[in-house]
Chains A and B, each alone.
Chain A
């Protein structure tokens, strides 16, 4: 039996109005240049968020809205981190034949074939992955990039910190900051009373540091893993002249030009070749001894 008309007329709040959304105006062509490395793309987003974070407690935003702004910015940091992993996986699959081979049994949505350019089809590999789910970063690093997270390492700690951050993200995405019991338990904070996210400027600095640490630790570990697999797979031989083009591609595709410029990273090809040569020599000496 359908509801009585008198019941249908009940209004305890105002009525909705008609809206026509032209979703195409909500989006534009992807402006980011593909020549930029994933980590530099992340750095750009991160720095922008850091600037916006200064609005919190700056006096330009009402006190009651500062927490709201803080929460939105937290989501921004998490989102920028997710984008980093998506881009990094796709970039590594494109760059490294060993990783590409390891992913050749992966299924992708059929529509991705039309949506992505054939040169960026790798982007479809992570379409159905949410990097904010606990365990996902570790499993994606392992499954997609064959990077094992060493126990008691900086990377392991960075992932742990990020996954805690994602508990706050969960509350901000799904319940406007109200924290549920399982989120509270996973954060390791009191579970005896209801809590809500309260993100001030200090918290945002911590959030920015956690995401930055995770991206840097991951980037370094991925690069080390790729170089090592190239050495073991014979793609790098220790011959500087032969190795240099491949190493050059690695630096351009996965290195941070920002950090190279500031002197906080070393992309010098001579030194990279020397490290490769030292590793190749050590492996061959060990193999020789075993024989």
Chain B
């Protein structure tokens, strides 16, 4: 098969904004009108929580906001990436001051980020140099060793005072902390510490904008969304004519003409519409398409369909993988499979009926009658975290009933044949069908019981391990000692389990997996420990771009 994307062009498909150079970032990303609105909110004084699934552009927005704030000069923007928080998770099983240890790590990351910002600005600050050296050393130790000694770092309140002083140093009146990957999705203890830390970070001169995931974020008991921070949705809605224009714009910005020439306009539109407002998915579809394409334009529609089906499978795999990442929610994830299938069937059935009456109206959304079963809310939350469905945050009324609306991923709708067309629809027609024409659009109404059977609801129990000594089930979810024999109930470290996972769990081509295995890399840990990419790069057919990509995938697997 001809390779249409060489190693030198692979970097064009780099999926994570934080891995782009400043030049690539400026050249390849573009704000939509929706983004402009969010960017304004990210530059204002009030604290914000930026919510959206992976790949929807949260990092891009935070980096862009940082650049805008820097340009205006009135505030000091500090971009901090908390993506490696999971690396400190073992401490929660191995030290009683793990909350303080984790908070020190959070503070240390801010100090290092301020120092990096000052370096970029060419500003010297000896006290900051000293503190950042301590902080950098601690971050490195803490991510490797849960018993690392805690240095004398400021708490959140003292940190805000220091931030104010550092802002003064560059004549800025305010500090805006842009906290990326702040969700800590798999460690509730970390989420609790993080949101308490956030509450203490706010002063008249210091504010924060934190990127979180929908569906799975647990706030601390004292943190109130709306009061402590306003929620902002980062996800670009797949609606209106401007949606496809925006996707086309970023496509044209990123990919050179020699690649664009290989892809028909219809395919680009279809991928843009099916990618559910997630630029990362859009570029992944294009990359897969180019890999599958066999220089036969007459078969481009078939290849595009296969590409979308392949992506739909990957999305479902990602959702299924939550069983391993969040083993307590295994039954909820399993129920999610059934719920998703049911949603797709309901939409397909309604579209078939509607098609006979009005051939151009497509149903894309589902409206679930309130109150929604609490267990179903968790199921939907997990689907939303994986990016398969999306709460549109709209409520609609029919008579006395109120409904909450959810959108379904375009790749899933397409792969399941949930949309109904006349004979031989063009790719443009199929793309257009996936884009809502108006804010409300048309939707299928259903009650919880219509998509979530009593049996499924009953099966949705948290999975907590029985006592290893006597086999007695736990009397409560967070029990630490067996109620029958009194033995300690030991929970394995999530991080250590993820690190021990075979690399075959990563979405990598088989050849790359074989090459890594041949290089003696079998577990995720083998990849993660290779921070300099020295060993990964030794694998056959793994150049620098693939090495970075493999490392990035492994890091993402254990991080969030």
Write the residues of chain A forming the contact surface with B, with a CB cutoff of 8 angstroms: 46-51, 53-54, 58, 150, 152-154, 156-158, 161, 201-202, 205, 208-209, 212-213, 217, 264
Provide the bound-state CA to CA distance between A161 and B97, in Å. Answer: 10
* Contact status of A47 and B487, CB under 8 A, knowing A152-B150, A205-B480: yes
- Give every chain A residue within 8 A of B483 (Cβ-Cβ): 50-51, 53-54, 58
Is B137 engaged at the interface, CB distance under 8 Å to the other chain? no
Provide the bound-state CA to CA distance between A205 and B487, in Å. Answer: 12
Would you list which residues of chain B between 464 and 514 have a CB under 8 Å from chain A? 475-476, 478-488, 490
Interface string of B93-117 (1 = CB under 8 A from A): 0011100100010000000000000
- Give every chain B residue within 8 A of A158 (Cβ-Cβ): 96-97
Q: A47-B485, A54-B486, A153-B149 are in contact. List 13 more A-B contacts (CB 8 A).
A: A46-B486, A47-B486, A49-B486, A51-B484, A51-B486, A54-B483, A152-B100, A152-B150, A157-B95, A161-B96, A202-B476, A205-B480, A217-B96
Provide the bound-state CA to CA distance between A224 and B151, in Å. Answer: 20
Cβ of A5 to closest chain B Cβ, rounded Å: 58
Ranked nearest first, the 10 interchain pairs of A and B with the lowest CB-CB distance are A50-B486, A157-B97, A54-B483, A47-B486, A154-B95, A51-B486, A152-B150, A213-B96, A50-B481, A158-B96
- Give every chain A residue within 8 A of B298 (Cβ-Cβ): none
Would you list which residues of chain B between 96 and 151 have a CB under 8 Å from chain A? 96-97, 100, 104, 147, 149-151
Provide the bound-state CA to CA distance between A186 and B488, in Å. Answer: 29
Asked if B100 and A201 sit within 8 Å, CB to CB, the answer is no
Asked if B485 and A51 sit within 8 Å, CB to CB, the answer is yes
Asked if B97 and A153 sit within 8 Å, CB to CB, the answer is yes
Task: Name the residue of chain B whose CB is nearest to the CB of A206.
Answer: B480
- Give every chain A residue within 8 A of B479 (Cβ-Cβ): 205
Task: Name the residue of chain B whose CB is nearest to the CB of A51.
Answer: B486
- Give every chain A residue within 8 A of B401 (Cβ-Cβ): none
Cβ of B482 to closest chain A Cβ, rounded Å: 7
- Give every chain A residue within 8 A of B95 (Cβ-Cβ): 154, 157
Would you list which residues of chain B between 241 and 298 have a CB under 8 Å from chain A? none
Provide the bound-state CA to CA distance between A161 and B96, in Å. Answer: 9
Asked if B488 and A212 sit within 8 Å, CB to CB, the answer is yes
Provide the bound-state CA to CA distance between A199 and B476, in Å. Answer: 16
* Contact status of A156 and B480, CB under 8 A, knowing A48-B486, A49-B486: no
Is B152 engaged at the interface, CB distance under 8 Å to the other chain? yes
- Most central of A150, A152, A217 by chain B CB within 10 Å: A152
Task: Name the residue of chain A whose CB is nearest to the CB of B152.
Answer: A152
- Give every chain A residue within 8 A of B478 (Cβ-Cβ): 205
Cβ of B347 to closest chain A Cβ, rounded Å: 44
Cβ of A244 to closest chain B Cβ, rounded Å: 26
- Give every chain B residue within 8 A of A47 (Cβ-Cβ): 485-487
- Most central of A51, A202, A208, A209 by chain B CB within 10 Å: A51
Asked if B150 and A157 sit within 8 Å, CB to CB, the answer is no
Asked if B482 and A50 sit within 8 Å, CB to CB, the answer is yes
Cβ contact of A54, chosen from B100, B147, B152, B484, cutoff 8 A:
B484
Write the residues of chain B forming the contact surface with A, with a CB cutoff of 8 angstroms: 95-97, 100, 104, 147, 149-152, 475-476, 478-488, 490
Cβ contact of A53, chosen from B97, B100, B152, B481, cutoff 8 A:
B481
Interchain Cβ contacts under 8 Å between A and B, 6 examples: A46-B486, A50-B486, A152-B151, A152-B152, A153-B149, A213-B96
Cβ of A114 to closest chain B Cβ, rounded Å: 37
- Give every chain B residue within 8 A of A51 (Cβ-Cβ): 483-486
Provide the bound-state CA to CA distance between A152 and B486, in Å. Answer: 31
- Give every chain B residue within 8 A of A161 (Cβ-Cβ): 96
* Contact status of A208 and B487, CB under 8 A, knowing A152-B100, A157-B100, A213-B96: no
Provide the bound-state CA to CA distance between A121 and B483, in Å. Answer: 38
Asked if B97 and A154 sit within 8 Å, CB to CB, the answer is yes
- Give every chain B residue within 8 A of A156 (Cβ-Cβ): 97
Cβ of B189 to closest chain A Cβ, rounded Å: 13
- Give every chain A residue within 8 A of B484 (Cβ-Cβ): 51, 54
Provide the bound-state CA to CA distance between A105 and B150, in Å. Answer: 36
- Give every chain A residue within 8 A of B480 (Cβ-Cβ): 205, 208-209
- Most central of B152, B479, B483 by chain A CB within 10 Å: B483
Cβ contact of B481, chosen from A150, A154, A205, A213, cutoff 8 A:
A205
Asked if A157 and B481 sit within 8 Å, CB to CB, the answer is no
- Give every chain A residue within 8 A of B485 (Cβ-Cβ): 47, 51
- Give every chain B residue within 8 A of A264 (Cβ-Cβ): 490
Asked if B481 and A208 sit within 8 Å, CB to CB, the answer is yes
Cβ of B267 to closest chain A Cβ, rounded Å: 56
Provide the bound-state CA to CA distance between A156 and B101, in Å. Answer: 13
* Contact status of A154 and B96, CB under 8 A, knowing A51-B485, A212-B488: yes
- Give every chain A residue within 8 A of B481 (Cβ-Cβ): 50, 53, 205, 208
- Give every chain A residue within 8 A of B475 (Cβ-Cβ): 54, 201
Provide the bound-state CA to CA distance between A203 and B476, in Å. Answer: 12
Cβ of A190 to closest chain B Cβ, rounded Å: 15
Provide the bound-state CA to CA distance between A241 and B147, in Å. Answer: 30
Cβ of B69 to closest chain A Cβ, rounded Å: 34
- Give every chain B residue within 8 A of A212 (Cβ-Cβ): 488
Provide the bound-state CA to CA distance between A153 and B485, in Å. Answer: 31
- Most central of B104, B482, B488 by chain A CB within 10 Å: B488
- Give every chain B residue within 8 A of A152 (Cβ-Cβ): 97, 100, 104, 149-152
Provide the bound-state CA to CA distance between A191 and B244, in Å. Answer: 61
Cβ of A122 to closest chain B Cβ, rounded Å: 28
Provide the bound-state CA to CA distance between A51 and B470, in Å. Answer: 12
- Give every chain B residue within 8 A of A48 (Cβ-Cβ): 486
Cβ of B481 to closest chain A Cβ, rounded Å: 4
- Give every chain A residue within 8 A of B104 (Cβ-Cβ): 152
Cβ of B356 to closest chain A Cβ, rounded Å: 59
Cβ of B487 to closest chain A Cβ, rounded Å: 6
Cβ of A57 to closest chain B Cβ, rounded Å: 8
Cβ of B37 to closest chain A Cβ, rounded Å: 43
Cβ of B385 to closest chain A Cβ, rounded Å: 28
Cβ of B483 to closest chain A Cβ, rounded Å: 4
- Give every chain A residue within 8 A of B97 (Cβ-Cβ): 152-154, 156-158
Cβ of A81 to closest chain B Cβ, rounded Å: 14
Provide the bound-state CA to CA distance between A183 and B324, in Å. Answer: 45
- Give every chain B residue within 8 A of A46 (Cβ-Cβ): 486
Provide the bound-state CA to CA distance between A57 and B484, in Å. Answer: 13
Provide the bound-state CA to CA distance between A217 and B151, in Å. Answer: 19
- Give every chain B residue within 8 A of A50 (Cβ-Cβ): 481-483, 486-487
- Give every chain B residue within 8 A of A49 (Cβ-Cβ): 486
Task: Name the residue of chain B whose CB is nearest to the CB of A52.
Answer: B486
Provide the bound-state CA to CA distance between A158 and B487, in Å. Answer: 20
Provide the bound-state CA to CA distance between A158 and B94, in Å. Answer: 12
- Give every chain B residue within 8 A of A53 (Cβ-Cβ): 481, 483, 486
Cβ of B57 to closest chain A Cβ, rounded Å: 39
Cβ of A48 to closest chain B Cβ, rounded Å: 6
Task: Name the residue of chain A whose CB is nearest to the CB of B479.
Answer: A205
Cβ of A119 to closest chain B Cβ, rounded Å: 32
- Give every chain B residue within 8 A of A201 (Cβ-Cβ): 475-476
